[in-house]
Structure 1
Amino acid sequence: MKFITILFIPIKALMASLFQRFLTVFGRSLRAKKTPNAPPKPIINKVATTTVSIPDVAVADEIIDTSSLFYDLLFNNKYVVTEASAGLNPLEKSILLKVEAGVGRPESIALNVVRLPEVLHKVSALIDRGDYTAEQLAALITQDPVLAADVIKLVNSAGYQLGSLEVTSLQAAVVRLGGLQIKSIVLTIVMQNITEIKPIYFKLFGQHLWQHSLTTALWAKKLAKSRGEDPDLAYFLGLIHDVGKIALFKLIVDEMNISDPQFRPSSKLFRQMMTKHSLRLSALIAQAWLLPGPVVKALYEQSESSAVLQHTGPGKLLVQANLYSEIHLLLEQGYISQLQATEFCRDNQLDIQACIAGV
């Protein structure tokens, strides 16, 4: 009897399992009969949601604010989303008012904050006059020993490809490159020194701004050559077009050191000042530097970029060179996608391939 009971238990379990399976199959059959036209679940929907890159397509239809993104790059705000909504604290407001007052004195800024070395004026005047010798030009540059050393160093860099023979004197450099090329080299070194900013608060600000200025200068020179305009003037404009940003950054840092050296300001303070004043301040500084009229005029025009694009000349050229440089730098640093860069270039009538490839 005990044996029969033990045998009966697994048989009972087996019968229950078979009965449960019968109900499952029978129930499924009944449901299928009730909804004969019910479509199968689209498996592809699940795949699509995981493989289709919707954000890229959506963003491409938006208008890209290159100026705002460029400030994000300068202040390393790629992943910062909360700071922009915060207001300035009392100390930052106080700093802002002091810097605002300083902006009204561009002559003082040009003399004390972003001073242009006198040797640059002398070199430009001598070369523009035309009646000079290599010895005279070399002697003039040598009046600034640091500048002279930097010129020789740059002349021997890979960018100038003068062959295996090293240039050891300024006079030899003038003979091999010519006065106009030496003038561009001197200007590049001077502006790089002005743009050099200690890595305080935003350590990549100066580095990115110099990279952008140099690339804008190269773009401006390239565009000028293709349009029969003055490439040296264009190069000069590209190098100095953001000098207003440099001046404002230094002014804010100086005021911050006076008020509270331990306080770390938000990027909003810098952005607010630069958005409002930097472009016009660049022109005012150029005017205080006593630069030629076409230079000052083009710098004023860059603050009215939407209008200047309808015309020709250095102003339009500068605006377009600036856009080429910004787009490529933003793409290179991962702030925009290639699709966004393509759409922006198309909308602004820029060469798409050139935008992506760079100068």
Structure 2
Amino acid sequence: MTEAIVVTPTQAVESQLDLSALFYSLLFANQSIADSGIANNLERRVMQDIELALSSPQAIAENVLKLPSKILELDRKLADDNIDTKELIKLIEQDPLLCVEVLKLCNSMAFKRSENDVTSIQQALVQVGRQQLRHFITSCLAREMIDIKPIYFRRFGAEIWRHSMQVAFLASELANAEQCDSAFLLGLLHDVGKIAIFKMLVDAFYQAEPGEQPSSTLFKQVMTTKSLTLSALLARYWRLPEHFETPLTLLANTNIKPDDEMTLIIWKANIISECSMLQQVDKLPQKELIVLLAQVGITEQEFAELHKKLLEF
């Protein structure tokens, strides 16, 4: 029998901060720059922008990171069992690009359920079910927020989207049947603050001195704590239901393990996803992985099984 690992509160905080710093290194394309404790001019400019954003999230929500107007409307209608199936299909098909993206997800390795391709929304509704189709549509609409154009930041766009999808998937797996849909959407949106900050970084990058890139430990720590706070503020401005805003607010306190049920689900899903993505590129020492898994409350075997599924995203 394997002896249970006891993790002290100090170890817990330190391991999560280490994990977050490693994860940010994964998001940046340039891995050759060594971390330093001192922020450069580019990072200082962005940190000033972050403080302004925290005092005025409205400006960020309206100019930097707009929530697609259709996302909440469609989500509500997909959740309403009284809406006629034909009416629902017609509503979705009004957006051809959305249809294309949804069908891509239906036929992706992670979600494909048969040898035959899904070729219509009606077929998707039959084959994957209403709840899963709801998840796909929400995911495709949320992805509109991630539009990173400069080549240097394209990796970030791809990796942060993959992470958001993984957290949404894991959260829905960890939640009970009643919480499943809320957990999925919350997992998908938990990192919107991070996306907003990276868009600020893109703007600042155009004014930066040649060769200046985000690399300091300080900047990564600011990103960790401030992005979660910004996510909660954006949720409030977007008028998301309270059961979205509250967990995001609680997650911003990175010094403690949350005890609120929904918050804990997202907290666990986030750690599992970050561990999986880092392990895939051999960037997470085994000793640190064991400590993190002990906090989340899963065995190495359980993690290995989840990791295998997450590789499909």
TM-score by length of 2: 0.81
Equivalent residue number for residue 241 of structure 2: 292
The counterpart of 1:251, out of the listed 200, 218, 221, is: 200
2:65 aligned with 1:114: yes
2:37 aligned with 1:88: no
Residues 286, 87 of structure 1: alpha-carbon distance in 2 compared, 3 angstrom cutoff? closer
**Would you say the 8 A contact 1:188–1:239 is kept in 2?**
yes
Aligned residues: 293
Give the deviation of 1:343 after TM superposition: 3.4
Residues 120, 195 of structure 1: alpha-carbon distance in 2 compared, 3 angstrom cutoff? same
For the residue of structure 2 that corresponds to 1:188, the secondary structure is: helix
Deviation track 1:254-307 (CA, whole Å, cap 9, x = no partner) reads 2443x3586643333853641341001111112222221111111111112554
Equivalent residue number for residue 304 of structure 1: 253
Amino acid at match of 2:26: L
What are the ranges of 5 or more consecutive residues in structure 2 without an aligned counterpart? Answer: 1-10
For the residue of structure 1 that corresponds to 2:66, the secondary structure is: coil
Deviation track 1:124-180 (CA, whole Å, cap 9, x = no partner) reads 121233211222112222232211221123223343334344433323322433332
Deviation track 1:155-206 (CA, whole Å, cap 9, x = no partner) reads 2334333434443332332243333222100111123332342354344222
Equivalent residue number for residue 277 of structure 2: 329
Give the deviation of 1:241 after TM superposition: 0.9
Larger RCO, structures 1/2 (Cα 8 Å, 6+ apart): 2
Equivalent residue number for residue 70 of structure 1: 23
Which segment is superposed worse, 280-289 or 148-157? 148-157
2:72 aligned with 1:124: no
Which of the two has higher C-alpha Rg?
A: 1
Amino acid at match of 1:112: N
**Would you say the 8 A contact 2:33–2:215 is kept in 1?**
no
Give the deviation of 1:317 after TM superposition: 0.9
Residues 156, 208 of structure 1: alpha-carbon distance in 2 compared, 3 angstrom cutoff? closer
Equivalent residue number for residue 313 of structure 1: 261
For the residue of structure 2 that corresponds to 1:212, the secondary structure is: helix
Q: How does 1:103-252 map to 2 (within 5 A)?
A: 103-225=54-176, 230-252=179-201
What are the ranges of 5 or more consecutive residues in structure 1 without an aligned counterpart? Answer: 1-60
Give the deviation of 1:349 after TM superposition: 3.1
Distance 1:266 1:119 in 2: 34
Residues 170, 321 of structure 1: alpha-carbon distance in 2 compared, 3 angstrom cutoff? same
Amino acid at match of 2:134: K
Q: Could you tell me the percent identity over the aligned residues?
A: 33
Distance 1:96 1:347 in 2: 30
Deviation track 1:215-241 (CA, whole Å, cap 9, x = no partner) reads 11221111114xx65111111121111
Distance 1:128 1:179 in 2: 9
For the residue of structure 1 that corresponds to 2:252, the secondary structure is: helix
Q: How does 1:11-90 map to 2 (within 5 A)?
A: 64=15, 65-75=18-28, 80-81=33-34, 83-89=35-41
Amino acid at match of 1:67: S
For the residue of structure 2 that corresponds to 1:277, the secondary structure is: helix
Give the deviation of 1:244 after TM superposition: 0.6
Distance 1:272 1:308 in 2: 18
Amino acid at match of 2:124: A
